[in-house]
Structure 1
């Protein structure tokens, strides 16, 4: 029985990527589902896994999102996903590495790479949802060149354990008067930067917060990148976010599938393992196929992104996130059904995945918005909004 540790197809991966996958799988196996998050994060950082996608000159591994997605997938398959991998090195690290000043790179990238620092990401707002053009968090430039931020954000992961949050705000274009998106690094202890815990029915170490920015004053160098290229820089971070969410979903699905296959092979009724019955075996086989197909799209998206093909990567990243989210939800559901009553016991740890798997459908962008994207951008159909 190979599901649970060897179901990751490595045919199209390089030898180095296969070695990385095996090494991270061993790390995940040592920590397991009952892991202590801080200990796992620290060890992954020391081993160079957290910053495998960041530039070598700033302490990273010099690889890409393809390698970072392997790290998250394998940890998820072992039952110990590090959700902050999606935002700290993948979104924030990528944006700073591509668009930050030399000072910003030296300030943040080494810590993001070795795990001694981390960064959250705040974009979603109560009234904006997936529409980045309706973001109301605003940034005003002062006479001294600094910035003052005001606004609200919701569903921001890990703010309490992150050193800073990369906030998406909007500044006024001096030529047109229109608001344009820009990115700002807001330290956790900045005056006027408040957070409140959102009470979630979700079992995760990384908690969700609502943020308030009440006249948060920042120095001029808090702005990341070019003020006039904010939208381009924003999407440079959102594509890795979708790829990493796909990795998160695939890893979770593999974890659930591994438990279901092991149970179906051992649980005997009338002296026959239940896995011998096609009504049990076929849905599990289908789940395995769907997870493998989702991984192929994720790998395509990661390769396109790492090759600098942002436009093509955008389409593939959205498709990968959609496919992985759907496969994860169906796999978890089938795993619970395979175990019957045991699927809802703490002993097997599958019940809590029912809620967690929905995250891959909902965040960071809903499957409905992805279908909108594909129908408009890929198929050329007209918009309804």
Structure 2
């Protein structure tokens, strides 16, 4: 089981969310606290020093963190995703070398898949991996919208190697793509936090240049040219970005209740009924996220996609309604309501984007 988010950590995360939104950069104190909290062990198997949490537990942890700081939650989610991929696809050497430090917080992991011009489905990557005569690989190109850039210690990088791979039908990734695990200390990997996001401003989402980045074949994750198979398994896991939206929606609802109580508005039936409507929508968000994590649906992959689509849309609507309830306070620049609304909108643009989720869902009805 996950360690609880104690009052000190919660207070720190709430404060970091405000500071990061104003500064537009990650809060290093909050990330240090995350590393020390034990939470990063959630997705690491017990055999490698982790908590052995399943998708349901991952979703709960992410939602709990997001209720305090959505930016830190999305960083944690990416760490869990890389942990799970190494546990599933890594060699014995990779698992023994990487998973214990990922569990104890000394190694924070991030994914670097996106790049300009590749499309949401990552099927037209320009970044490349070329095998050298000495058996090592030369990675070249640049990645964008990398969450955790400049704060992560390890990156799961997706490049085109040109090796044969399985046929991919309008899905996420393409044949001939390969994953590599690249340490932040690699001199050919250069992060840049130049992106100025409207939401998720503390998520360290930025650019990653592969400038003559050389890695060994022991740093390759999974079979050469078969990254698409690894990607396909991600959504089957049940871990969902909808959990981040669930946490944001919870934070917005709590804000509305606090506002109503502090002004004596709970005496009004109209206010109580409005809060009840918000609470009911929040329950639907929790339900779809829990269903995805439980993996009880006939098609767990579809349940995961639906959970992101519904949770992101519902969270944005809840945040907007809360902002309206707060009146002028809800639209104050730098206020909590505006920050939560911007973060809620940001989740829909994080991979797989909501548009891509819709395309993946629609595959079931196309020939």
Q: TM-score of the superposition, structure 1-length normalised?
A: 0.82
Q: Structure 1 residues 287 and 239 mapped into 2: Cα distance closer, same or farther (>3 Å)?
A: farther
What is residue 246 of structure 2 aligned with on the other side? 250
Counterpart mapping for 1:346-357 below 5 A: 349-357=336-344
1:218-265 per-position Cα deviation (integer Å, ceiling 9, x unaligned): 11111012225322112333555x834111110011001111122123
Asked whether the equivalents of residues 175 and 226 of structure 2 are also in contact (C-alpha less than 8 Å), the reply is no
| 1:189-217 Cα deviation digits (max 9, x unpaired) | 32332333212233532222122223321
* Aligned-partner SS, 2:133: coil
| Equivalent position to 1:208, from 205, 210, 220 | 205
> Are 1:133 and 2:123 an aligned pair?
yes
Residue 295 in structure 1 maps to residue 286 in structure 2? yes
Alpha-carbon distance, 1:84 to partner? 1.0
1:156 CA drift (Å): 0.6
Superposed counterparts of 1:232-247, under 5 Å: 232-238=229-235, 243-247=239-243
User: What residue number does 1:261 align with?
Assistant: 257
Q: Pick closer, same or farther for the CA change 1:208–1:78 going to 2, 3 Å.
A: closer
* Helix, strand or coil at the partner of 1:226: coil
1:172 equivalent among 153, 162, 168: 162
Q: Is the 8 A contact 1:54 1:60 kept in 2?
A: yes
| CA–CA separation in structure 2 for the residues paired with 1:187 and 1:29 | 30
Residue 11 of structure 1 corresponds to none
Number of residue-to-residue matches in the alignment: 350
Q: CA RMSD in A?
A: 2.8
* 2-structure distance, mates of 1:214, 1:97: 28
Flag the 1:203–1:314 CA change in 2: closer, same or farther, 3 A. Answer: closer
**Partners in 2 of 1:122 and 1:165 — Cα distance?**
6
Displacement of 1:348 after TM fit?
Answer: 5.3
2:171 aligned partner: none
Tell me if structure 1 keeps the 8 A contact 2:182–2:215. yes
Separation in 2, partners of 1:173, 1:347: 49
| 8 Å CA contact 1:28, 1:74 repeated in 2 | no
Q: Does 1:367 align with 2:354?
A: yes
Work out whether residues 140 and 213 of structure 2, in 8 Å CA contact, stay in contact via their aligned partners in 1. yes
For 1:175 and 1:129, locate their aligned partners in 2 and report how far apart those are by CA, in whole Å. Answer: 19
- In 1, Cα distance between equivalents of 2:334 and 2:158: 41
Are the aligned partners of 2:246 and 2:286 in contact in 1 as well (CA < 8 Å)? yes
Structure 1 residue ranges without an equivalent (≥5): 1-15
Looking at structure 2, the residues matched to 369 and 175 of structure 1 have their Cα atoms a distance apart, in angstroms, of 22
